[in-house]
Amino acid sequence: MTQDPAHAATSIDNLMADQANKFDLIVELLTTKSGLIQLALLVLIVWFGLWFAVRVQRYLFRDHPERRERLLTYLFGRLALPVCGFILALLAIVANALYFKADATILTVGSAMLFWLGVTRLAAALVRTILPKGKIEQGTEHSIAVLFWLGFIAYQLGFDGLIFSWLDSISFHVGKNRLTALMILSALLWVSVIMLAALWVSRLIDKRIMLISHVDLSFRIVISKLVRTGMIIAAVLIALPIVGIDLTVLSVFGGALGVGLGFGLQKIASNYVSGFIILLDRSVRIGDRVTVDGAGSRTGIIQEITSRYVVLRQADGTEALIPNETLISNTVVNTSYSDRSVWQSLEIGVAYGSDLRQVMALMVEATTSSPRVLQDPAPTAFVTAFADSSINLTLGYWVGDPENGLLGPKSAINLAIWDKFVEHGIQIPFPQREVRVLGDVSMIPQESRQA
Q: pLDDT by residue (tens digit) across 10-63?
A: 554 555 555 555 556 666 666 777 778 888 888 898 898 888 888 888 888 777
Ordered by start, the domain boundaries in the chain are: 5-169, 179-264, 271-334, 342-423
Given 3.10.129.10, 2.30.30.60, 1.10.10.10, 2.30.30.110, which CATH number is that of 271-334?
A: 2.30.30.60
How far, in Å, CA of 216 to CA of 209, rounded? 11
For 236-276, strand residue ranges (E) read: none
How far, in Å, CA of 237 to CA of 191, rounded? 9
Q: CA 98, 103, 107, 112: dihedral to nearest 10 degrees?
A: 100
Provide the 3-class DSSP secondary structure of residue 123: helix
Residue segments in the chain with a per-residue pLDDT below the cut of 70? 1-30, 131-142, 153-162, 173-177, 215-216, 243-265, 294-296, 437-451
In CATH, the architecture of 179-264 is: Orthogonal Bundle (1.10)
Task: Say if CB 125 and CB 78 are below 8 A apart.
Answer: yes
Q: Which pLDDT does position 428 carry in this prediction?
A: 87
Q: Which pLDDT does position 260 carry in this prediction?
A: 62
How far, in Å, CA of 259 to CA of 265, rounded? 9
Sign of CA dihedral 34, 35, 39, 42: positive
Task: Say if CB 403 and CB 289 are below 8 A apart.
Answer: yes
Q: Which pLDDT does position 24 carry in this prediction?
A: 61
Q: Which pLDDT does position 317 carry in this prediction?
A: 81
Task: Say if CB 432 and CB 387 are below 8 A apart.
Answer: no
Given 3.30.70.100, 3.40.47.10, 3.40.1500.10, 3.40.470.10, which CATH number is that of 342-423?
A: 3.30.70.100
Shortest CA distance to 171 belongs to which of 245, 253, 255?
245
Q: Which pLDDT does position 396 carry in this prediction?
A: 92
Q: How far is CA 360 from CA 372, 375, 391, 414, in A?
A: 20, 16, 12, 14
| pTM of the predicted model as reported, rounded to 2 decimal places | 0.51
Shortest CA distance to 400 belongs to which of 318, 332, 339?
339
Shortest CA distance to 29 belongs to which of 110, 145, 128, 88?
110
Residue 132 makes CB contacts below 8 A (sequence gap 6+) with none
Region class of 153: left (phi > 0), else alpha (psi between -120 and 50), else beta? alpha
Number of Cβ within a 10 Å radius of residue 361: 13
How far, in Å, CA of 78 to CA of 53, rounded? 8
**Burial (CB count <10 Å: 0-12, 13-18, 19+), residue 446:** exposed
Number of Cβ within a 10 Å radius of residue 229: 13
377 cis-preceded (ω within 30 degrees of 0): yes
Number of Cβ within a 10 Å radius of residue 150: 11
Q: Which pLDDT does position 2 carry in this prediction?
A: 45
